Amino acid sequence: MTPEPVYAIAQLGAPVLRQIAAPVADIHAADTLATIAALQDTLANSQGVGLAAPQIGISQRIIIVASRPTTRYPYAPLMAPTVMVNPRYDITSAQQEKDWEGCLSIPSIRALVPRYQHISVHYTDTAGEAVSLALDGFIARVFQHEYDHLEGKVYLDRVESSLDIVAESEFFKRLAADKMPPPSQPD
């Protein structure tokens, strides 16, 4: 079996990023398996901590959450790459926190985004099994960021003030100078 190609990441303005993604009817269908493999390879060859199918131009409800420290996310906790098909979530606490996010589809920008800190996620795994799990903090943020891509949203849609948006170069200057907390930016 040949590896799936690494796809180009759709950039802000691409119509696929503003569409509501279609549900996956058959996890074992050849096109679904190809999409999953392409997502895995594309994410593995990026500095991201998550990726959604619309970001590689495929409007299907599939995401991967794969938190790990990278140059873009030096403080990210470790989480094995987890493929989630037809995901949904419930808010388990109304507590929100504003923290920094970035996106492979919106390079060179970071912004403070409010997100729920405690959620329960439900999805189908690659074996076709229903899975539910609780997510908190950074991993909950990554999930919500990727889920937004399935709903035709990007993180900038959730920013409360344009003053909360900075150039990535400025973000890293502030981080180096300890003028802001460690990054918690998904994707």
User: Which positions are catalytic?
Assistant: 146
Distance (Å, whole) CA 106 – CA 89: 24
Distance (Å, whole) CA 62 – CA 175: 32
Contact 103, 145 (CB under 8 A): yes
- Alpha carbon separation from 178 to 21, 116, 172, 185 (Å, rounded): 39, 25, 10, 17
122 annotated to a ligand binding site: no
28 annotated to a ligand binding site: no
Enter the tokens of residue 86: 């037809």
Helix or strand holding residue 101 (H, E):
strand 96-103
Which DSSP string do the residues of 18-61 spell out, in sequence order?
A: GSPPBPPS-TTSHHHHHHHHHHHHHHHTSS-SEEEGGGGT--BS
Binding residues: 103, 145, 149
Binding residues for Fe cation: 103, 145, 149
